[in-house]
Amino acid sequence: MKITEVKLGKISVPLRVPFKTALRSVSSVEDIVVEVHTDTGAVGYGEAPPTGAITGDTTGAILGALQDHIIKTVVGRDVDDFEDLMLALNKCIVGNTSAKAAMDMALWDLYGQLYKIPVYKLLGGSRKEIITDITISVNDPDEMARDAVDAVRRGYDTLKIKVGAHPELDVARLTAVRQAIGNDTRIRIDANQGWEPKQAVRLLNQMQEKGLDIEFVEQPVKAHDIDGLKYVTERSYVPVLADESVFSPEDAVRIMQTRAADLVNIKLMKCGGLYNALKIVSAAEVYGVECMIGCMLEAKISVNAAVHLACAKKIITKIDLDGPVLCSEDPILGGAVFDEQRITVSDEPGLGIKGVEKMTYLD
């Protein structure tokens, strides 16, 4: 199975409601789609969102990396030479993890199709269904409480609450949400780097003293502040999950070795795809550190790839793959089925994607 051509496209999908964090506010998903064609007629699909505030990857940067480096690296190669293909992909350009992730998942898609097996089984998995949380955007306390009640009404039993914007309101936000939904729903929170270390400890301990029962806090401090992250981990009653501090497998190992966080968040767009995500998983298994699998604001192609990883690896115990359910429509044909919190993986060969509607092809 030789790669003959790569086509690029763009999709735009409105969100149900604007998505707000301590870093940004977004009203639609704007993704680059990769179609990798082969001499057998098989097509592999990948996808990358421009998440400049987190990965530094803009639409132009993603396209440039693909057109100037990545596509030239893979065209003409045989999918069966998979290890060499992955090594070449990761060496052809520094950084640009979103563009690499898009190509990476398209190649895994083809590799599964080559051997007529779904990717999650190719990775040794047997779990066919996972349960995701849903994100509640940062807003005024009353609005967040209403959004939380709506999510619980829709069947979600785990909410990820965004905090960190105007930190002085964060305890009030969490108090309003907990009072509105009761004690039967799990709450995890994401500060998106919005706190200082001492401030984080104070706020988190206040939340616990008020009985708000926080499952864990995601990235309470700046991504580069590993000492600050460790400070919070050692002094807070609430477990700490490292997100923006972990891009590469090397980042993950550093966090695990220094015990700077209790958990690690894997995102394909941060690490460059499934190939590197598997390295993080292996490190987590060695160090006994549980992982969450997360996503950016992405449509279903890329989140679908993360679903396959989650269904394959038991060290991934937390699921934050709500991107497709935050969208107002689904232009992706095939792949995993997203039924609110319940996600069912596809048993079709590869990643199971059959095509994309409403896509604009790019020259």
- Taking the C-alpha atoms of residue 350 and residue 338, their distance in angstroms, rounded to an integer, is 18
318 noted as active-site residue = no
Contact 29, 315 (CB under 8 A): no
Quickly count: other Cβ atoms within 10 Å of residue 202's Cβ.
Answer: 16
- Taking the C-alpha atoms of residue 11 and residue 29, their distance in angstroms, rounded to an integer, is 8
- DSSP label at residue 78: B
Helix (H) or strand (E) holding 265: strand 263-266
Contact 164, 192 (CB under 8 A): yes
91 noted as active-site residue = no
> Distance from CA of residue 296 to its chain's centroid?
5
Structure tokens at 154: 């829709």
Categorise residue 97: left if φ over 0, alpha if ψ from -120 to 50, beta otherwise: alpha
Which entry of 20, 162, 313, 318 is annotated as an active-site residue?
Answer: 162
- Taking the C-alpha atoms of residue 99 and residue 61, their distance in angstroms, rounded to an integer, is 8
Which entry of 20, 160, 230, 267 is annotated as an active-site residue?
Answer: 267
- DSSP label at residue 2: B
| Rg of the chain in Å (alpha carbons) | 20
- Taking the C-alpha atoms of residue 90 and residue 95, their distance in angstroms, rounded to an integer, is 9
> Distance from CA of residue 227 to its chain's centroid?
24
Enumerate the active-site residues: 162, 267
